[in-house]
Structure formats: structure tokens, C-alpha cells
Structure 1
């Protein structure tokens, strides 16, 4: 189900001093095996596309009914600042999630991380070194977000 984080070619993002990921948080970040990552991707993200670059209008992330009134939020300014917390609009979007809500940070069909929401909130700056369209979803939750390399995040609602 899991593979060692050391297998991840960009594991350095979690070992930096800025942004710092505390050891107890690092221990709760799990890199899924490629097989398990593929299952999560199929269940939560897309059953047709294997990478965010290839999403089409048939994927729920591109459908207009999955967009909220506040569709896009700028994340990069906060990332570049001394502020440690996610942008307020992002936190508000996920406000019903508990600290232990299991989340998946999905980069593509073979690269998915599993961790508690509270850990993601503290380590989000490290994760956003991987900003080429990853999707954050919560287990059995409707809220989702897709982060883009242009510094914006789309706040989304998954279909049931």
C-alpha cells in the first residue's frame, strides 16, 4: 500500500529547512504504492486521464457545475510570504474537515500522497513545489482543490 518516501525522486521538498516539515509530520506523510495510487486516482480524480495536463470536459474537475462562486484563489503570494497558513479562502473551503480527515494529494495516476488534513495544512508549502496541477481531495469529502503553477488554485466540489 505504501512505499518508502525515500523512493520519491523529489523527496528533498520534505527535507528542506524552508519550508520546514517537522519530523512528526513527515512520519504521517505516506507515498502510496503505484498500484494504490492508481486506485485512488481512478476513484477520486479521473477514470480516463492519467495526468492533470490531460483533463477534458468529461472530467469532473473541468465541469462548470463543480466550480464555486470563488473559483480561483491566489496561493503563490502566501507561499512566498512569511505566513505559514494556507490562504484564508482555501481554509474556508475546507472548514468542515477535521484535523484527522484523510486527504490525498494527487500529482498523477502513479504519484499520490496520503496524509491527515492537519499535516497538509502545516506542510502545504513543501507540497506546492509540486505545482503542476495536483489535486487535493479528502476521503469521503466533496471539497477539492487543484493547484496550478501559475500561482492559482481552483476550489472545487466533487460529484458524488
Structure 2
């Protein structure tokens, strides 16, 4: 099995918290990878050596010069009553709603979902903002969220 049932996911509460509950029909599209599958995905798409984004080496694509074109502040939108992602992110990721995306918290903690689900519930995903990277299947654009409330917009080069 490649995915954990959401009920077994250690951070399930970020999607069921009473202040921002994700509707049941959308929960079905939030699929945490098993530790083994997440580790393989991380190795293939982020880093073969580093377990999280804080310890990436200079050889890992997120650390390479020229990867990130722009950094913007996402925190004001996250704290507001506005539900939409910041406009700059939506402009950078002009993906169709059915694109599969991977929200990579760290080597053993990756969630697969659809772009439409991430867009609708991005605030839930960012309850943990400890350096997650968002990738899209067969897409070059990438996002790297930082704990200081900024996000880097760039290109995945691996």
C-alpha cells in the first residue's frame, strides 16, 4: 500500500480542526504517503541525502543558485478571512485543477492531493510551515514555504 488511511496520519488534525474543517468529500483526496513511499519520493524528487529542507546540500536542486525567481509573503493571506492563495502563487502555478500535487513536509511526510484541493485548503496544509516544498506531477514550477511566512517561487530542475 502506498498511502496511509487519513485516520492513521499523525497530522490528521490539521484537516479536521474545528476552526477549519475540510469537508468529507475533499478529505478523500488528501492522501498521506506511507513512510517508505514518501522516502523514495523525497529521494527521487528533493534530495538523496537530506531528510528535510533545513539540511539540504548545495547539490540538491532547491539549494542551487537560480532555482528560485521570487520570494513573496504568504502570511497575511493565511491570517486573513480570504480563502484564496496569494495571487502571485496562482500566477506562478497556472495548473489545471486535476493536476496531482505533492506537499513535501520532509522525507517521511508527504501528502499527495489534487491542485484544486490544495488551493481550497492551503491554510490547513500550512499549519506546519517548517519548510515544505510543493511539486506538481510532470510540472516544472515549484514552491518552497518558509517558517518566516514567505514562499519562494521557482522551477524544479531535477
Does TM-score exceed 0.5, indicating one fold? Answer: yes
After the TM superposition, which of the residue ranges 34-43 and 78-87 deviates more from structure 2?
A: 34-43
Check if 1:94 corresponds to 2:104.
no
Query: How far apart in 2 are the matches of 1:18 and 1:90?
Result: 24
Tell me the SS of whatever aligns to 1:79.
helix
User: What corresponds to 2:7 in structure 1?
Assistant: 6
Alignment of 1:1-160 (within 5 A): 1-68=2-69, 71-95=70-94, 97-160=95-158
Query: How far apart in 1 are the matches of 2:156 and 2:58?
Result: 14
Query: How far apart in 2 are the matches of 1:108 and 1:76?
Result: 21
Where structure 2 has 5 or more consecutive residues not aligned to the other structure, the ranges are: none
CA RMSD of aligned residues (A): 1.1
Tell me the SS of whatever aligns to 2:84.
coil
The Cα shift of 1:8 comes to 2.0
Contact 1:132–1:148, Cα closer than 8 Å, also in 2: yes
Contact 1:75–1:153, Cα closer than 8 Å, also in 2: yes
The Cα shift of 1:10 comes to 2.1
Query: How far apart in 1 are the matches of 2:55 and 2:150?
Result: 18
Contact 1:134–1:146, Cα closer than 8 Å, also in 2: yes
Aligned residues: 157
The Cα shift of 1:21 comes to 1.4
Tell me the SS of whatever aligns to 2:152.
strand
Tell me the SS of whatever aligns to 2:66.
helix
Query: How far apart in 2 are the matches of 1:73 and 1:41?
Result: 25
Can you list the C-alpha shifts for 1:20-76, whole angstroms capped at 9, x where unaligned? 3121111110011111111211121111211111012211111122121xx111111
Query: How far apart in 2 are the matches of 1:98 and 1:111?
Result: 25
